[in-house]
Amino acid sequence: MTEQGNRKSSNHWKSSLGFVAAAAGSAVGLGNIWKFPYIAGQNGGGTFVLFYLLCIAIFGIPIMIAEVMLGRTTQSSPLRAFQRLSTRNYGWQFVGLLGIFAGILILSYYSIVAGWGLHYLFLSLVGGFPQDNNPQAYTDLFDSLVQSARLNIWWHSVFMAITTCVVLRGIRGGIERFANWGMLALFILLGMLAIYASTLSGFVPAVKFLFAFSENFTWTSALEALGHAFFSLSLGIGVMLTYGSYLQRHDDVVGTSIAIAIADTVVAIGACLVLFPIAFSVGLEPSAGPGLIFINIPLALLQLPFGRIGLLVFFLLLLLAALTSAISLLEMAVAFLIDSLSWSRSVAGFTMAIFIYLLGIPSAISGGTGFFGAGLKQSLGMTWFEGADYLASNWLLPLGGIGISLFVGWQLNSHQRLNEFSNNSRIGSLAWLYSSWLLIIRWLSPIVITIIMLHNLGVF
């Protein structure tokens, strides 16, 4: 049974809550946990957080509404959605293809990072961390993992297998069911860690570090906030479009988009209230990226009461965050094959999973001295892993966001756009809201995303 055209009920979300859980799971990824806390603390604390919330409201939610709207309107994957709505200008189909390519590329190296989390979860279970409190020992442990092709390929295999199993079970039986239970577990684990962190000596200094208003907020900080608001919501790839295509015609796009953004923001701020109290309690400086997750946090937790339990809970949380994002990326690619080639879900799922798995092998061995690691680093200045991340983050995602904004703002039929926004109801007193949204989509979003893109590329 293929999933195209007028989809059967089994190929829609069972409830709006299931959609919100799945889409929020897609948005809640590793970036919320290892990037947001650091950039918030280093860019003005409370000022940054407040500006970030404004960016989510003014730019993030409107773009999400536009992307989900395209999905619900067409009931199609990204490429087919643009094909159906741009019959007179086939150039728009490039936006759909761009998103699909970005999602495939991102998952190929995202799986490697998620595999690191799986390895550390395993170490938490078996007590495989260094016995002393020497930071260099934890740095060496992480470096040895990054440089080990064998371990990276093994955990890459395990993570992709788990992700594929969920996607193969379909929308309701796989993705929605996993999202409902997975997101519930994620919030419970985050709450447990936050309660634990609040008992530590570093909690008050961490709160001051994160939320006290300071003069460190600059125009560069504003661009950081804008960029993270856009990227943290999984916008510009086509994931929200794909998930939106599984909505029923009567489901509310605006309300669910707001709920998704709120859930994503709660996790980002919750991560701040977990990670920094732990680090500050043992006198460690906060850092960004893998260093925070795989070096500082294990080093800190194992010096604290009940630290081993906390470490196990933390890496379970990390695994859930990674899985919910990875599932959405694979589903988008699988939906593309189902819609374009009329393949069954099982054939499309296995084919795409194997392709992405093989594409991830160069990233898995990028930490070594071979061609994809030291070889490319010497000739091009970055490894395969770093190059894939650079291409996706600095080119593919921004271009996708610009394309979706311009398409919905200018190409979509005005009557159809209004009906989709209002859920086929009279807009009435909310006409100002629609006008504001359209202004943002048509003008502000493309301009702002272009500025972020140029800044990330080092133009200014």
- Angle (CA) 426-24-6 rounded to 5° is 55
Q: CA dist 349 to 79, 160, 190, 327, 345, Å?
A: 17, 11, 31, 11, 6
Cα–Cα distance, 109 to 146 (Å, whole number): 13
Cα–Cα distance, 334 to 317 (Å, whole number): 26
Q: Give me the pLDDT at residue 45, please.
A: 83
**Residues 6 or more apart in contact with residue 17 via CB below 8 angstroms:** 180
* Position 373, amino acid: G
Separation of first and last alpha carbons in the chain = 51
Q: Give me the pLDDT at residue 38, please.
A: 81
Cα–Cα distance, 124 to 312 (Å, whole number): 5
Cα–Cα distance, 420 to 353 (Å, whole number): 33
**182: Cα separation from own chain's centroid:** 15
Helices (H), 75-176: 78-85, 93-126, 135-147, 149-168
Strands annotated E in 166-279 = none
Residue 251 DSSP one-character state: S
pTM of the model: 0.95
Q: Is 368 exposed, middle or buried (0-12, 13-18, 19+ CB in 10 A)?
A: middle
Nearest-10 Cα torsion for 213, 217, 223, 229? -10
Residue 132 CB coordination number (10 Å)? 11
What number of residues does the chain have?
460
Cα–Cα distance, 437 to 400 (Å, whole number): 18
Reference 222, options 375, 342, 58; nearest CA is: 58
Cα–Cα distance, 27 to 156 (Å, whole number): 21
Classify 267 as helix, strand or coil. helix
Q: CA dist 455 to 14, 98, 220, 395, Å?
A: 42, 21, 9, 12
Helices (H), 293-413: 297-301, 307-341, 345-364, 376-380, 384-391, 397-406
* Position 138, amino acid: Y
Reference 324, options 229, 190, 182; nearest CA is: 182
Q: Which domains does the chain show, CATH number per domain?
A: 9-359 (1.10.4160.10)
| Residue listed under structure tokens 């799971």 | 25
Each residue's pLDDT, cut to its tens digit, for the chain (460 residues) gives 344 444 555 689 999 999 999 999 999 988 898 888 888 877 878 889 999 999 999 999 999 999 999 999 999 999 999 999 987 778 899 999 999 999 999 999 999 999 999 999 999 999 999 988 899 999 999 999 999 999 999 999 999 999 999 999 999 999 999 999 999 999 999 999 999 999 999 999 989 888 888 778 888 899 989 888 888 899 999 999 999 999 998 899 999 999 999 999 999 999 999 998 998 999 887 766 788 899 999 999 999 999 999 999 999 999 999 999 999 999 999 999 999 999 999 999 999 999 999 999 999 999 999 999 999 999 999 999 999 999 999 999 999 999 999 999 999 989 889 988 988 777 776 789 999 999 999 999 999 999 999 988 888 7
Classify 201 as helix, strand or coil. coil
Reference 241, options 81, 16, 101; nearest CA is: 81
